[in-house]
Structures are given as structure tokens and as C-alpha cells.
Amino acid sequence: MEYRRLGASGLMVPALSFGAGTFGGRGPLFGAWGATDAREARRLVDICLDAGLTMFDTADVYSAGASEEVLGQAIKGRRDQVIVSTKTGLPMGDGPGDAGSSRSRLITACEDALRRLGTDRIDLFQLHAYDAGTPVEEVLDTLDTLVRAGKVRYTGVSNFSGWQLMKSLAAADRLGRPRPVAHQVYYSLVGRDYEWELMPLARDQGLGALVWSPLGWGRLTGRVRRGTPLPPGSRLHSTADYGPPVDDDHLYGVVDVLDEIARETGRAVPQIALNWLLRRPTVSSVIIGARDERQLRQNLGAVGWSLTPEQVARLDAASHRPAPYPHFPYERQEGFARLNPPLIAVPERAA
């Protein structure tokens, strides 16, 4: 397993980390993801640690806290071997204080997460969404308090827009508070919006990307193809509306190229999709999920080898979409590119 610094911090994280969204299995969304219990989770953690995957990501909202509880049981007795990442900020109830990033909510959420995880510290504590109703100064001051108390070691955010992230970073610098070191983002071969605004921001400001749903909400597993119905066990049957939208023609064009490269390399389609992400700028770790041992072992096979430059170029071309405003007027203008060189090359001809 390759290890990388998480952004500009000193924390070393594995190139692949494990997402515990399948642990617990409560509710319509997370129940469709999986219902891994403590015994099964411990077996999956065993396999991860044997492969050098030491970082485990969860959130309080995953199965209403059950994911944190199951993960805590699975890592019991080996806490010092793992990096625990969790998130808070999304609604956990209908009460006025059950969502957001107020001082009260963050302190309570941290204490609840520590209890459910059965630990005395959280290695990476992330804001699951931007809270426009709470002053950023209050948020940063509270996170600083948790860091100084030893309950949190690093902080990060998830699903922030560019202006929300820069506002937080600028305020942290102004106030002398710890900066977020990570941004947990959606990024995949069928969802490359991260590249236009957030990737250059991350490179400039020293944030590491933790990639969620790297297989496009289950669309790049190798089981979804043109002209065939969704496989019976696909979570897309019940969860497609919760995830990022993908145009079918675009999806099938990407899958066609993945199939070609799978035949050339002897690798599985998901392994190719994950390997493509591992070499993208600013990516510190790609979060993989698995309902069972077979899926986990397959996803772990994404490391230890590399796509060729020619194969990467074909995937780039097949997955490229026109730039959104305000980027599109300048995407292919050489003069502007000299002023603002893109981190990702724009294909000469998009497939």
C-alpha cells in the first residue's frame, strides 16, 4: 500500500481507505448500501489491515450512528493501528439543534462519536456540510477547542463549494486557528466536476482530497452496461435518486473504454476506475466500500500497478465533459492556459 500526506499536513494516509457506510444498515438509504454487523466488520478490517489499508471513514448520519458503533467494535483492541475519520453536520433528528455546526452541536456530536466509536480521540473530524447559519468564527473556535482538548487531531470538510472552503481557510488564517487539511469530495470517471474549481483550490491551499463514491454511485462496477437491465442486486434500484446524476450515453461511453482496457490488462473494471483516480492531482486517498470480502479484495487490487499513459489518455477523453461557466470560454485558449495552466490536460477531441 502506498502512503501519502493528507494535503499539507503531516498525517500519512493510505492511498486507499475504507468507507464504513455499509456498516449498520439502518434506514432506506443505508439499508440498501449494506447491513454489515460487528463480526463481519471485524473480518473486513482484518483484510484491510493485512493489505496496509489503515484509514476508516464513517459519519454520525450513517445508519443513525450505527456505522460508528459497528466500526468501533471492529477496531476494538487495535485502535493504535488505525486512522479513524468521521463526519458531522447533517441532520440527525428533527430538532432545531440536530443539524449544523454550532458550538453546541459540534461538541455534542464529537462526544457522541467518541462514545459510539469507543475511543478517546478522532484522527480526522470533518464537517459534513457547510452551515451558512453559524458564523465561521464560531465553527473554527469550537474545532480549535476540540483539537486542544486532544479529542480531535485534524479537521476537514466535505462537499463544500469553492467560496465556502476559501471563507473557512481565510478565517482560520486570520484567527490563527487550525486549517482544514482535507476535503472529502465526489470524484469519478463519470463525475469530474471536482477538477474545475475545487482541485485547483486544493492544490493552491494544500488540501488533500478524500474521494467518496469513486465508482460513480455503483455505476462503474462492471455490471452496468448498455442495453442490459440493472443487475438484481444493484443498489441503484433503490438509491439512484440519492446519488450524483449521470447521463446514460456518457456512462456507457466510459464503460466501453473501461471494458477495452480491462481486456488489455486483465484487471477488473472497478480496479481500472480506481487506479485512474489514484494518479489525479491532490488526491490523498480514495475511499472504497464493500458489502463483503469478495468486493473488498477486488477493490484492494486497484493498487500496486499503473495504467499506461495511453490508457489514461483514452479514459480522459471518454470521460471528459465541457467545462462549466466561468471556465468554458477559456478551456481551449492557449493564451489563457499560460496564465492559468490546467491541472488536467484537456483532450484534443472528447469522445
Give the predicted TM-score (pTM) of the model. Answer: 0.92
Each residue of 304-319: pLDDT tens digit?
999 999 999 999 999 9
With a cut of 60, say whether residue 222 has pLDDT above it. yes
Asked whether 23 and 66 are in contact (CB, 8 A), the reply is: yes
Share of the chain above pLDDT 70, in %: 92
Helices (H), the chain: 28-33, 38-50, 66-74, 103-117, 136-148, 162-175, 198-205, 236-239, 248-265, 269-278, 293-300, 309-319, 334-339
pLDDT-derived band at 351, boundaries 50, 70, 90: very low
Give the pLDDT score at 348: 67
Give the pLDDT score at 350: 43
Give the pLDDT score at 341: 77
Asked whether 56 and 83 are in contact (CB, 8 A), the reply is: yes
Instruction: For residues 27-56, give the mean pLDDT.
Output: 90
Give the pLDDT score at 194: 97
Instruction: For residues 35-58, give the mean pLDDT.
Output: 96
DSSP per-residue letters across 15-83: SEEEEGGGBS--SHHHHHH--B-HHHHHHHHHHHHHTT--EEE--TTGGGGHHHHHHHHHTTT-GGG-E
Contacts for 257 with CB less than 8 Å, ≥ 6 apart: 314, 315, 318, 351
Give the pLDDT score at 344: 86
Give the pLDDT score at 237: 39
Q: Over the chain, what is the mean pLDDT?
A: 92
More confident of the two residues 68 and 223: 68
- As beta bridge partners, residue 156 has 126, 182
DSSP per-residue letters across 91-110: -SSSSTTSSS--HHHHHHHH
d(CA 11, CA 181): 9
Give the pLDDT score at 229: 67
With a cut of 90, say whether residue 270 has pLDDT above it. yes
More confident of the two residues 333 and 189: 189
pLDDT-derived band at 241, boundaries 50, 70, 90: low
Q: Which three cell numbers stand for residue 76?
A: 476494538
Asked whether 129 and 159 are in contact (CB, 8 A), the reply is: yes
Amino acid symbol at 116 = R
Instruction: For residues 330-343, give the mean pLDDT.
Output: 72
Catalytic residue, chosen from 3, 62, 154, 187, is 62
With a cut of 90, say whether residue 267 has pLDDT above it. yes
Coil, helix or strand at residue 286: strand
Coil, helix or strand at residue 316: helix
Q: Is 194 a catalytic residue?
A: no
Residue in 237, 269, 271 with CA at minimum distance from that of residue 256: 269
Q: Which three cell numbers stand for residue 244?
A: 450524483
Each residue of 99-154: pLDDT tens digit?
999 999 999 999 999 999 999 999 999 999 999 999 999 999 999 999 999 999 99
CB atoms within 10 A of CB 310: 10
More confident of the two residues 321 and 235: 321
Give the pLDDT score at 324: 87
pLDDT-derived band at 240, boundaries 50, 70, 90: low
Coil, helix or strand at residue 84: strand
